[in-house]
A and B are shown apart, each in its own frame.
Chain A
């Protein structure tokens, strides 16, 4: 209960002012179709960046059976209750929310690991997201890969969508398919993830323009493929909290854009080592 009290305090400080009975927060689903393109990493990092701006954030892991958001946040040892426990009224929402270690105004609702996606009741899921929106400024829903039941349940409560796409033809095709399946009013925006600028320069990887020539979505951000992201993820520490990291800065800009700030999209630059590699690689 202590966690909830804190969350409410934060809410009062937040800029959003609406009727107390109306959900004031915004729910966004982070989706992609293809797996392994960085949905969970994006959810964790954008969430942490929003929380660092003083906003209250709930992260929902909708990947029932294959949860990972808890690991990326380093909270796996603190998961006691999960999404299905709440949906099935076994515990209260407050008891199931896990407060983040580093960002006190960010909480996680973990997915169940031993259950199936078909166990989720779509209507209850919609109501749950609505309840979360009444308590938090932002609700970020980490969608599972694919377009089966898990996808439908992750999308049901959302008001907008972020499409995460890597510069690969297979990811672009799956993103395109998902955009077609999303309800129109979700107005998806695009994050191009894992860009390797030196490969783009050599014509060995699709550019952001190539990707968006097909998808034609408003661009929310571009994130480079850096080993530091893998390291941070394995450690359970969002890189968006590292003020020195360029990748972290890309996530912070995405959070700022979500809040309505107009920041030009910064493009990852070809690093010194990559340039050196190109030189020696002779390609």
Chain B
């Protein structure tokens, strides 16, 4: 078996790469797929925090690459999703500690035992980015509807095209009431500016701040709107035809508030 190796990238930091990686991974695992999540942000790891496994780290990615432990020793199995594994980044090393070839080898090894290998890319377009992309066959570009995030996404897309890595967009943190009042770009605008295909979009929801701080993927809770949305994105990633939902529509209260504010 050889699983799909997908890098989650963005250029700009803080647009939700790690949250996307964790929740998409959890959604895929929930659907019965074997999923490995790789934190490529050496020196500034965070995927372990978002998944609440920070206290269970024994070995890390750099130690695997340097042959100081076996891959399976470094993989941490999630306690809630038995099909989900996490390979943490080293916290006290530099991004230069790993080469592109080593990264490709590592993710290829993981793909032998997993249906999906999701690589959480660091911000920027330096060595860390090159490593993460070298390990992937395809990409998810996460962006938010802000000019600066879109410009950085455009730069990253250019680099992906150079490397012939196919990609789709995930537009994160949409605030529908601001789109409606013309204060924020719409998902369509973003796709048009970046001339890219859409994998999905996620509304800005305060709920995610809390679940992320607690280290629990929101996908865990079937009553949560964002959980349903990530599940739909996961199905789309698997090739299912899932219509873009109306879930982004603001609730009753938001509509009233938007009216008052406007």
Chain A residues near B (Cβ < 8 Å): 33-37, 40, 65-66, 68, 71-72, 113, 116-118, 144-150, 166, 168-170, 173-174, 177, 196, 199, 204-206, 227, 230-231, 233-234, 273, 276-277, 280-281
Contacts and interface: CB of A to CB of B under 8 A. Distances in A.
8 contacts: A34-B123, A146-B95, A148-B95, A168-B212, A168-B213, A177-B43, A204-B206, A231-B183
B213 A206 contact: yes
Contact of A233 (B12, B50, B91, B146): B146
Interface string B180-192: 0001100000000
A37 B210 CA distance: 17
A146 B155 contact: no
A145 B43 CA distance: 12
Contacts of A276: 257
A36 B16 CA distance: 9
A277 B257 contact: yes
Contact of B14 (A34, A150, A173, A227): A34
Interface of B: 11-15, 18, 43-44, 46, 49-50, 91, 94-95, 122-128, 146-149, 151-152, 155, 175, 178, 183-184, 206, 209-210, 212-213, 253, 257, 260-261
B183 A234 contact: yes
Contact of A33 (B15, B44, B147, B184): B44
B155 A113 contact: yes
Given A37-B14, A204-B209, A227 B49 contact: no
A227 B175 contact: yes
A207 to B, nearest CB: 12
Given A33-B44, A144-B123, A230-B178, 20 more contacts: A34-B13, A35-B14, A35-B123, A35-B124, A65-B125, A68-B12, A71-B151, A116-B125, A144-B124, A145-B122, A146-B124, A148-B94, A149-B126, A169-B49, A170-B212, A173-B49, A177-B43, A177-B91, A273-B257, A273-B261
Query: Top 4 nearest A-B pairs by Cβ distance?
Result: A35-B13, A36-B14, A35-B123, A145-B13
Contact of B209 (A68, A177, A205, A231): A205
Contact of B146 (A145, A166, A234, A280): A234
Nearest to A228: B183
Contacts of A205: 209-210, 213
Contacts of A149: 126
A34 B41 CA distance: 10
Contacts of B49: 169-170, 173
Contacts of A199: 206, 209-210
B155 A65 contact: yes
A74 to B, nearest CB: 10
A234 to B, nearest CB: 6
Contacts of A118: 126
A148 B127 contact: yes
Contacts of A280: 253
Contacts of A174: 44, 46
A148 B12 contact: no
A118 B127 CA distance: 10
Nearest to A177: B44
Given A144-B124, A146-B123, A174-B44, A71 B148 contact: yes
Contacts of B125: 65-66, 116
Given A168-B212, A234-B146, A66 B155 contact: yes
Contacts of A72: 148
Contacts of B261: 273
A177 B91 CA distance: 9
Contacts of A204: 206, 209-210
Q: Which of B18, B44, B94, B152 has the largest number of chain A CB atoms within 10 A?
A: B44
Q: Which of A145, A168, A231 has the largest number of chain B CB atoms within 10 A?
A: A145
A142 B213 CA distance: 27
Contacts of B178: 227, 230-231
A71 B118 CA distance: 32
A113 B158 CA distance: 12
